[in-house]
C-alpha cells in the first residue's frame, strides 16, 4: 500500500546517518498550524515492537480504510510528524527502544495533538504533567485505542483550546461533580467551587501550561478541600 511504511523491524536512517533530531519548539509550532478536524486522517503509531505496530495498523485499515503511519523509534516518530501534515492522533508507547517517550509527549501536548499512552506496565510512573492523558494497557485492540483517542480529542477541544474564560466555563461541570463527591451537601460543594475559583485567580500566573485548565482547576479544588479539612481539625 502506497502510504504504508515498509521499513522493518526498525526505522531506516537516511543515507547521511541517523535521522536528525527535530527541534521540539519548531516541531510543536509546525503541528499547531495544522487542522485535524477530519477524523479520517491517519494515526501515527509509535511502537518499537513491529508485530504489535503492524497488527494495529491492520486493524486500523480494516476500520474504515484508515492508514496508520508506523514509527519504531522516537527519532522516526519526530521525522514522521515533521514530514506528514495530516496526522490526526498518536498512539504512543511509553517505553520506546529502552527510553521513555515523555519528550515526544511534551511536543504533542505543546502542539495540541491528541494522543494516548500505550503501555505494557500497569504501574509505570507517568509524570504529573500528563494527568488526564488516556492510558491504555497492552494488550489492547484498536477499538479501545480509538476510544482513548476520542477522549483525548474531546478533552483537548473542551479545555485546551479557545479563550481562558471559555475553558474555565467548560470546566465548571467537572468541578461541580468533583465537589459534590467531596462535600456533604450541594451548598458546601458550591462553596468549594467558589473557593477554588478564587484561589485559581490568585495563582493563575503560576499555572503550568502542561495541564489543561480543567485538570489545573481540579487539582486546585482537591488542595482547597484538603486545606478546608485541616482547618476544621484545628
What string of DSSP letters covers 20-50? PPPPHHHHHHHHHTS----TTSPEEEE-S-H
7 has a pLDDT exceeding 50: no
The CA distance from 20 to 107, in Å, is: 16
The CA distance from 99 to 94, in Å, is: 8
Among candidate residues 15, 168, 20, the one with its CA nearest the CA of residue 82: 20
The CA distance from 39 to 115, in Å, is: 13
DSSP 138: S
DSSP 204: G
Q: What is the pLDDT of residue 5?
A: 37
Per residue in 65-106, pLDDT tens? 576 578 899 998 988 888 876 788 999 999 998 889 999 998
β-strand partners of 96: 99
Amino acid at each position: 500500500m502506497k502510504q504504508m511504511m515498509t521499513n522493518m523491524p526498525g526505522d531506516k536512517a537516511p543515507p547521511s546517518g541517523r535521522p536528525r533530531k527535530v527541534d521540539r519548539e519548531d516541531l510543536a509550532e509546525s503541528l499547531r498550524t495544522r487542522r485535524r478536524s477530519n477524523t479520517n486522517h491517519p494515526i501515527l503509531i509509535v511502537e518499537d515492537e513491529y508485530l504489535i505496530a503492524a497488527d494495529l495498523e491492520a486493524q486500523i485499515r480494516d476500520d474504515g480504510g484508515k492508514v496508520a503511519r508506523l514509527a519504531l523509534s522516537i527519532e522516526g516518530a519526530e521525522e514522521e510528524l515533521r514530514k506528514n501534515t495530516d496526522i490526526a492522533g498518536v498512539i504512543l508507547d511509553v517505553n520506546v527502544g529502552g527510553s521513555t517517550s515523555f519528550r515526544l509527549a511534551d511536543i504533542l501536548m505543546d502542539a495540541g495533538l491528541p494522543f494516548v499512552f500505550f503501555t505494557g506496565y500497569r504501574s509505570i510512573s507517568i509524570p504529573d504533567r500528563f494527568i488526564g492523558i488516556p492510558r491504555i494497557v497492552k494488550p489492547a485492540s484498536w477499538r479501545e485505542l480509538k476510544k482513548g483517542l476520542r477522549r483525548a480529542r474531546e478533552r483537548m477541544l473542551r479545555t485546551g483550546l479557545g479563550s481562558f474564560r471559555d475553558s474555565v466555563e467548560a470546566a465548571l461541570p467537572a468541578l461541580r461533580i468533583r465537589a459534590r463527591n467531596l462535600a456533604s451537601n450541594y451548598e458546601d460543594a458550591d462553596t468549594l467551587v467558589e473557593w477554588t475559583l478564587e484561589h485559581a485567580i490568585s495563582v493563575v500566573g503560576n499555572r503550568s501550561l502542561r495541564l489543561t485548565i480543567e485538570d489545573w482547576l481540579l487539582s486546585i479544588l482537591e488542595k482547597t478541600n484538603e486545606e478546608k479539612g485541616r482547618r476544621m481539625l484545628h
